[in-house]
Amino acid sequence: MSISETYGRYRRALGEEPLAVVVLLVALWMAWTLATGLMTGGIQVSSLASQVWDGLLRGLIIGLAGIGLSMTYSILNFANFAHGDYLTSGAFAGFATSYLIAGFGESSIGSLLLLGAGTSVTGAVIGVGVTTSPLAVIGGAVVAGAGTIALALAIDRFVYRPIRDESGIVLLITSIGVAFALRYLIQFVFGARTIGTTLAGSVPQVEVVELLNNQLIEYTARETAVIQGTFRVTAHDITLIAVAGGLMLGVHLLLQRTKLGKAMRAMSDNEDLARITGIPTERVVRTTWILGAGLTGVAGYMFVLWKGTLGFNDGWLLLLLVFAAVILGGIGSIYGAIGGGIVIGLTASVSVIWIPASFSRAAAFVVMIVILLFKPEGIFSGRTTA
């Protein structure tokens, strides 16, 4: 096909799709603004790299949490609005364990389990972090996953199972009630305060002082600092990538290489046919809750470890982005949840180059809507559980 024919083809396509013209113009404006800013020094390369890195890590968290939500939807056929509070529950259970391990003997067990409520005990004081107390982090991550699994199985047994044969709207409304109950139970036990869980991402205090004396330009609890034209990759960043990548690979192998994974995919495709062929559907449901809740609990713990603070509504605030990632990737698609999570995370972080930071969440949803307008079935259309 010649250049003129290609040009004419795309011109006709743009003429038939006015929205495509708008999207193209906006994309060109963003590219021009970014290129101009980089050339004139208005946008530092280090700042852009820092935002991209932040978006990638945020996207991994969203994707990891989205796997559990996508599995629940594709196999159990309802949108679980309590998913965000499962994430919060796992984070609190995990950090109560980390506090207990890291601070054992330095403070009372009660104050450690309550994350320093009413005392001066904080994660920074007792040294919670990957480099300062690796055993506390490992123990916290394990308990976060296991605790969330136990919570999800208990709620399924006493709340969801009795109404599983009802319509999806009944389960959805019930899950909203479960979400509120969990959220305010956590607030009742741990309080509404924002808890500092780590020493700015496990950077030793001496190093923090030195950085401040060397004109620290930007330093956050997520450990990403822009200092004299560079940005830092920290132990918590690497830990997050390793844990999220390992768990995602594990889910892939389970679904593709095991009989249980094949049974889960079969039930996702056609539940009635799966029952007829003798697939133990109740076992598949239980496994779905175990996998989804375990991944969600670990995701909640890693999210808080990475950002350095913990609040009772963290999961609720993250839930909308998780839903956006699952919808963008293609509802029911495991790989779509991962891909959608990365797209949403990058958009939310990098968009601050063009718009105020307070609108970054809105930008993520706008990108989701635009992509779905051109590809309504999602990025990974046709690929369900695996």
**Structure-token pair, residue 207:** 């190093």
The answer to whether 64 and 107 are in contact (CB under 8 A) is no
* Beta-ladder partners of 310: 195
Tell me the DSSP string of 158-198.
Answer: IIIGGGTTS-HHHHHHHHHHHHHHHHHHHHHHH-SSPEE-S
Closest CA to 305 of 112, 98, 65: 98
Where are any strands of DSSP class E within the chain? 195-196, 218-219, 225-227, 230-231, 309-310
Q: Report the pLDDT averaged over residues 40-68.
A: 85
pLDDT tens for 19-34 read 666 666 767 767 777 7
Per-residue model confidence (pLDDT) at position 220: 38
226-230, 259-263, 360-364, 371-375: lowest mean pLDDT where? 226-230
**pLDDT at 2 exceeding the cut of 80:** no
Closest CA to 85 of 287, 351, 311: 311
**pLDDT at 201 exceeding the cut of 60:** no
The one-letter amino acid at 247: L
The band of 209, judged by pLDDT with boundaries at 50, 70 and 90, is: very low
pLDDT tens for 120-167 read 788 888 888 898 889 999 999 999 999 999 999 999 999 998 887 777
Per-residue model confidence (pLDDT) at position 97: 95
Q: Report the pLDDT averaged over residues 252-274.
A: 79
Closest CA to 156 of 75, 262, 232, 216: 75
Q: What is the crossing angle of helices 281-307 and 235-257, to 10°?
A: 170
The residue with greater pLDDT, 127 or 212, is 127
The one-letter amino acid at 386: A
Share of the chain above pLDDT 70, in %: 81
Per-residue model confidence (pLDDT) at position 93: 96
The one-letter amino acid at 377: E
What domains does the chain contain, in order, with CATH numbers? 43-374 (1.10.3470)
Q: Report the pLDDT averaged over residues 338-364.
A: 87
The answer to whether 339 and 329 are in contact (CB under 8 A) is yes
**pLDDT at 381 exceeding the cut of 70:** no
Task: Give the helix/strand (H/E) hosting 278.
Answer: none
Mean pLDDT for the chain?
A: 80
The band of 371, judged by pLDDT with boundaries at 50, 70 and 90, is: confident
Q: Which residue has the tokens 């083809």?
A: 9
**pLDDT at 289 exceeding the cut of 70:** yes
Per-residue model confidence (pLDDT) at position 222: 39
CA distances from 14 to 6, 7, 23, 30, 321 (A): 12, 11, 10, 19, 31
pLDDT tens for 68-90 read 888 888 777 788 999 999 999 99
